[in-house]
Structure 1
């Protein structure tokens, strides 16, 4: 019996040793590129990818799968300066905090809103890593100092304003791995290795995709795997993040930002699409029943964005002019994308109908809103047929 117990203990110790030897230490990095000022998916894209709320669902999904996760964000929460941009930046940072991000990049434009983040130092089972920003010459000097003074196994660099082939040039090399994440690349970049112990990649901009890097050290041999994830609503959203987003929308509404927009003037006023239907009944019915333009404003109302200047401008008539749409209370007759978006202000024509009114600038009229970011599948000739309300030979 004693011999049996002894042999059992030996076998158990042997198995434990095998398991320990076979165990792979994995560090999981989830990273996103620049938000480019978008808190939620925007545009006529069909499949809605991106947005902080949807991203929070994916983060929860990955964390539930277990393992050590480090979250890195490319920043660029705002594209411009001004009152709304400060609101948006504050909202963005609050949501990142709720999701427990380790590092978020700050662009030079945003440095007047928040302190530039210090490098983030981490330790995973004895392996030292650091995350830092590379945007200015001062950032590069700081990186050189850190890598000279500290023992680092892995350095993750958030870079902006550089091409994928240039990003690693001039950056310190040593007995450590260098990972360069390009924040402002328009589309995801598949990882490639321009130099020894160097990986360059990107998750693309506008938060549409996330990159997942899995680093392993097995018997001190470094290896890595990568995948790109489209940020869809597959995993829902974190309730706290949704609450912060709702508060932002309500704050924008209460601030009545639409009333403070600076606009240029036009000598001809706007009358609204309803005024056109008395003479153009057939064209009006085509617009009302066959075109998404006729309920463009309703799409904003469903998401509570109908008080947001950044969104409203492409869902109403004459937004850029003082005589055009101002707000829901004063100019509800100019909601939706109507006749005057394409044909121009119609007050003069409505009260004195004469030939010659209504010539458009063609594709240029459409691409003001249907740009590559917000309508990537836009094809002028195909879309033109969708809204056709004129003879086929024209």
Structure 2
């Protein structure tokens, strides 16, 4: 595929891009269950329990052991939301492209023909991404490159992915996707020169089965984008109902099964599935990470409405069988069972991605801002500056995992996590602020999750410990921390799915550990860190 050499009419910024939120996905406690079956072109009915289709054993287990060999399998993914991989901060997480690739490799090893489609939303709201906008762009390009490594057949156009910039996204599509991958949106007409980037549909051959695949996007999702390139690059966005009748008729004449991906609300996907019963499979977005495992069966069992949740924790597998056998669906949990070598994608995700973060300096160049709620002009001073006056409190902190948070990144088996802004933000002190963490060389005294991540920058208090206004600016009670959900900034559903403030506070409580009778503690000192 040719590379995009320039941005016509000032519309496109060339791409160094990748994706938006590499987080961690906490696992569901439920086992995967079998779902529904369908007779091709006929009435569909609930399947016999397929909960043993994928044994709970180790990697040697056969996939879908209770299935007869299918004529083809359609693998459905989508709404990864920037979760290239679980972050490793807690055990039992689901998802990640490396595991997804291992699943596909095992499917391939069983000699089962397959096709791959993705609903899009590879990233989500890059402007609010924990790692910052630039890292989100890098993740987007890495995600696209990974999908090309998989040899995906189709990816639906998503407004979430266009938030890196419409021009940037178009350049990324052109520069990072290779055959056979197609970007689909039947109701979007690209501007001149970009007609080949977004296509209305594609015919995918998987073994003896031909799949007609299309996608639509809610015009409102495009309309909400505030982007100077939008009107030039995506000048025409039609209603789904204006294009689906003709698209469906065309696909029915060329394929055995018809598949629709809907980048809109779940209600809109259900409406379209009911309105156009010619589609055998409709892929919907999900309002939650872990939706119901079974698809909805619509149109008297003719249409299977599927969603695979968010954050890339699951993929769906639709089995098509010869001799009129019923179509089967199974949702696969991407857990440690799929921790195989996945060499090709592992190189992209672990080596290329983080090497790029290091080279570009996403941590050092993170857009920082001043701290607004502390003493005016205060900077981050580091826990060592607190030690003289608060020795027992310092000792208590030193015994917690907070003190070793940065070292845990150095020990991480994944390479170069200290250059990943999404990791560093919770493993260092004051990361997003002007005087906070920048690098191991520039701000070594801000390693780990220290006092000032809760109390705020303390340089003014360190210099003048008896100034009540400076002391008040960093004073904080457990009630305030709990009410403001301060701990949940890092101890979120991804990194600490079982976090409970009352329980964990008991492990770090430090009130009243020090006395201040020694005159030296009232003299003040020059902060050891926190230079602007």
TM-score for both structures, normalised by structure 1: 0.83
Query: Which residue of 198, 201, 210 corresponds with 2:315?
Result: 210
Whether 1:226 and 2:330 are equivalent positions in the alignment is yes
Query: Which residue of 392, 417, 424 corresponds with 1:305?
Result: 417
Deviates more, 1:230-239 or 1:90-99: 230-239
Per the alignment, residue 6 of structure 1 pairs with none
User: C-alpha displacement at 1:175, in angstroms?
Assistant: 4.7
**Using a 3 Å threshold, how does the CA distance of structure 1 residues 123 and 362 change in structure 2: closer, same or farther?**
same
Unaligned runs of 5+ in 2: 1-67, 128-132, 174-182, 185-198, 220-237, 372-376, 514-532
Query: Which residue of 390, 395, 407 corresponds with 1:285?
Result: 395
Deviates more, 1:324-333 or 1:353-362: 353-362
**Using a 3 Å threshold, how does the CA distance of structure 1 residues 275 and 233 change in structure 2: closer, same or farther?**
farther
Whether 1:331 and 2:443 are equivalent positions in the alignment is yes
User: C-alpha displacement at 1:43, in angstroms?
Assistant: 6.3
Per the alignment, residue 144 of structure 1 pairs with 245
State the SS of the aligned residue for 2:84: coil
The one-character-per-residue Cα deviations of 1:96-142 (angstroms, maximum 9, x if unpaired) are: 11122222233124342135433231245665422222323537244
Per the alignment, residue 105 of structure 1 pairs with 156
CA–CA separation in structure 2 for the residues paired with 1:153 and 1:84 = 41
User: C-alpha displacement at 1:156, in angstroms?
Assistant: 2.4
| 8 Å contact kept, 1:183–1:202 | yes
**Using a 3 Å threshold, how does the CA distance of structure 1 residues 27 and 192 change in structure 2: closer, same or farther?**
same
Query: Which residue of 365, 374, 379 corresponds with 2:500?
Result: 379
Whether 1:239 and 2:358 are equivalent positions in the alignment is no
Per the alignment, residue 357 of structure 2 pairs with 252
User: C-alpha displacement at 1:48, in angstroms?
Assistant: 3.1
The one-character-per-residue Cα deviations of 1:329-359 (angstroms, maximum 9, x if unpaired) are: 2112112111111122121222222464431
User: C-alpha displacement at 1:28, in angstroms?
Assistant: 1.2
Deviates more, 1:333-342 or 1:139-148: 139-148
State the SS of the aligned residue for 2:345: helix
State the SS of the aligned residue for 1:247: helix
Deviates more, 1:220-229 or 1:191-200: 220-229
Aligned pairs for 1:1-394 within 5 A: 25-42=70-87, 44-79=89-124, 80=126, 82-111=133-162, 112=166, 113-114=169-170, 115=173, 116-117=183-184, 118=199, 119-124=201-206, 127-137=209-219, 138=238, 140=240, 141-151=242-252, 152-163=255-266, 165-171=267-273, 172-182=275-285, 185-190=288-293, 191-196=295-300, 197-218=302-323, 220-232=324-336, 234-245=338-349, 246-266=351-371, 267-289=377-399, 291-301=400-410, 302=412, 303=414, 304-354=416-466, 356=472, 357-360=474-477, 361-363=480-482, 364-390=485-511
User: C-alpha displacement at 1:188, in angstroms?
Assistant: 3.4
CA–CA separation in structure 2 for the residues paired with 1:139 and 1:27 = 32
Unaligned runs of 5+ in 1: 1-22
**Using a 3 Å threshold, how does the CA distance of structure 1 residues 143 and 294 change in structure 2: closer, same or farther?**
farther
The one-character-per-residue Cα deviations of 1:200-250 (angstroms, maximum 9, x if unpaired) are: 2322111122222223243x3543232332333644232221222211211
CA–CA separation in structure 2 for the residues paired with 1:34 and 1:90 = 16
Number of aligned positions between the proteins: 367
**Using a 3 Å threshold, how does the CA distance of structure 1 residues 125 and 29 change in structure 2: closer, same or farther?**
closer
| 8 Å contact kept, 1:35–1:74 | no
State the SS of the aligned residue for 2:460: helix
| 8 Å contact kept, 2:277–2:299 | no
**Using a 3 Å threshold, how does the CA distance of structure 1 residues 211 and 45 change in structure 2: closer, same or farther?**
farther
- Give the alignment's Cα RMSD to 1 decimal: 2.7
CA–CA separation in structure 2 for the residues paired with 1:235 and 1:131 = 30
**Using a 3 Å threshold, how does the CA distance of structure 1 residues 178 and 78 change in structure 2: closer, same or farther?**
closer
State the SS of the aligned residue for 1:91: helix
State the SS of the aligned residue for 2:417: coil
The one-character-per-residue Cα deviations of 1:70-106 (angstroms, maximum 9, x if unpaired) are: 2222332333164333322221111111122222233
| 8 Å contact kept, 1:258–1:309 | yes
